[in-house]
Amino acid sequence: MPETTVILLAEDDEDQIFLIRRALREAGILNPLHVVRNGEEAIAYLSGTDHYANRAEYPLPTLLLLDLKMPRKNGFEVLEWVRSEPNLRALRVIVLTSSTEIRDVNRAYQLGANSFLVKPGDFDNFCSLVESLEFYWIRTDHPPQIARRDHKTSQLSAENKTTRPEQDQEQGSRP
């Protein structure tokens, strides 16, 4: 169901986070949005470790919006890690970056990105991009089931998608 699609945004720039959140609201996308601000946080969230262990509060996303230029671990390192994890390999990863470098495009696809989108410079085009993203990745595309690893038992189980679209959860402070 589109309204149960949980989105994880991995973005370090507070202005970009604000812009993405605003564009999502303008497009009427009420899906739960979780934000991490560096590559290490993205990996911790996805692996369900540290303060992300509570999957009721921090559910596995069905869509990862991944910036490339982040501190601690960059987007390429996060993407490589995601694709190396058997239980996360099927996670849909959309690179959302300001880079227009063809080497970045090629590397992202070589590492397993599902799409490579360049952040537009103005808000109207950003809203159009978000609407396109919502139409295809949330409304049209059928996501695979992602399994999560229970770190206590080391067993895989299917992620239960019981979140409500009205929830707007974000790690850390609001911009």
69 located within any domain: yes
Over residues 156-163, the mean pLDDT reads 42
DSSP, res 3: G
Which candidate, 61, 159, 66, 70, places its Cα nearest to that of 114? Answer: 66
Output the pLDDT for position 154: 46
147 located within any domain: no
The boundaries of the domain holding residue 47 are: 2-141
Structure tokens at 100: 């227009």
How many Cβ atoms sit within 10 Å of the Cβ of residue 152? 7
Q: State pTM to two decimals.
A: 0.80
Task: Identify the burial level of 151 via C-beta atoms within 10 angstroms of its C-beta, where 0-12 means exposed, 13-18 middle and 19 or more buried.
Answer: exposed
163 located within any domain: no
Contact 5, 164 (CB under 8 A): no
Percent of the chain at pLDDT above 70? Answer: 75
> Kind of pairing, strands 147-150 and 155-158?
antiparallel
Q: What angle do CA 92, 87, 130 make, to 5 degrees?
A: 15
Over residues 41-68, the mean pLDDT reads 94
Output the pLDDT for position 141: 62
Percent of the chain at pLDDT above 90? Answer: 56
169 located within any domain: no
Q: Range with the lowest mean pLDDT among 12-21, 44-53, 122-131, 163-172?
A: 163-172
Q: What angle do CA 76, 15, 37 make, to 5 degrees?
A: 40
6 located within any domain: yes
For residue 45, give the CATH number of its domain.
3.40.50.2300
Number of domains in the chain: 1
Is residue 161 over pLDDT 70?
no
Q: Range with the lowest mean pLDDT among 75-79, 81-85, 137-141?
A: 137-141
Output the pLDDT for position 153: 44
